[in-house]
Structure 1
Amino acid sequence: MIHLIPRYGFENTDIDRNISKRECIGFIFSKSMDFSTLKSGISISPNINGYFYQATSDRKRFLFVPLSNYEIETKYLITISSSVKDSIGNSLYQEIKKEFYSGDSYLEIVSLNIGGIDYSSIPDELEASTTTVNANEILAAVITFSNPIDINSRYAVVNNISLNLQFPMTSASPILLSSKWDSSNTVLTLNWGNITKSTSENKSYYDLKFNGGKSGISTGNGRYMEDSICIHIKISS
């Protein structure tokens, strides 16, 4: 008999959606196994970099130790080939397949405040007001993420958020004046200066961009935004 058990402790829990980050997968056999055939006869698809480890001296319990995080919201297939043998050379009676799902979810922006107005869902476009400080028009954005951002990743998160002038191109480009994280490490406040207010003759438009994907905004411990986001902003007069 073979049991696929998640986590180091070989708890009596079948493999399920709760496998996340770099959690190990345990294999329990009813007989002592030939470790070399086990290593070559077990595969995981999609492929994840890792290694097998003999967990007990009786050669009945083994671990797969991943060296990278499981892909977010991904279905995996474990295949145990019939070429796997016990310690006296008996082959597994049949090939065994078992599916499991990674338990991690994507990082999300759960709320947004632009120019003093709260948004519980991310709009494609909006109109925002600025505040005037020493004759400089400033646009503020307060971004709340679904998960805390690691201290070593905060600078990269800020760099993956940009405010870009779209019209009129004769206006000055916005400048990021300040960034501040709250104590929970989930709320980021950004202030941009050099914002041009709309007039009756000319409307001012900007794009607020959040870079997603593995190389974009991430927590620093495996979670990242699935897709990039772009919000078109019209500045009030």
Structure 2
Amino acid sequence: MKTMKYTRSLMIPVVITMAVLFSPVEVNAQKKKNKEEEKVEGVDSKLLSGLKWRGIGPAMASGRVADFAVNPENQSEWYVAIASGNVWKTINNGTTFEPVFEKYGSYSTGVITMDPDNPNVLWLGTGENNHQRALGYGDGVYKSEDGGESWTNMGLKESRQIGGIVVDPRDSDVVFVAAEGSAWGPGGERGLYKTTDGGETWNKVLEISENTGVNNVVMDPVDSDIM
């Protein structure tokens, strides 16, 4: 019993000594941490003003205008398709622009066409119409019937890139779409497609091969049967 009492009496000063030794270390560490935080918070903004942001990829370049459409009845109203993202609309001749294609399945747009009989009807081909290393792909053809306020995907989701869209001025339900297909492999929806019911169904009217798509389509302004 004497031995146990003696051992306990020795442990008490040892514990107290350790507490005394480590307490200053913790206090000093906390002070150091506070000083470091003060240094971070106190960084002069002038030191960072010379730093510039730069894009580092992957394989992405911005600022490419892919296509635009102008309302023939009101030439202050334009729609601009941007390869690196969105469709932008101006109603004041380009003074300001508003994005109108933000909540849909593709960010990249390649071609936009206005119905010649109704400027509120727009056809949009997603995916950049420019095959190169920095390339954005899409998910088919979209249609707006309210001047870009809302859009509906009308199919050809495996086309990847749309190169051109034309609307027959004699019949707005007749639309031709040039589908390029994937730049990285065969197959998918590629070729020239036609709808006669406003995009509800599509028929391939020109097929070259599983590796070859159609980049553009142009309709004779005098005779719509000539393309």
- Higher helix fraction (1 or 2): 2
Question: Which TM-score applies when normalising by structure 2?
Answer: 0.24
Question: Which TM-score applies when normalising by structure 1?
Answer: 0.24
- When Rg is computed on C-alpha atoms for both structures, the one with the higher figure is 2
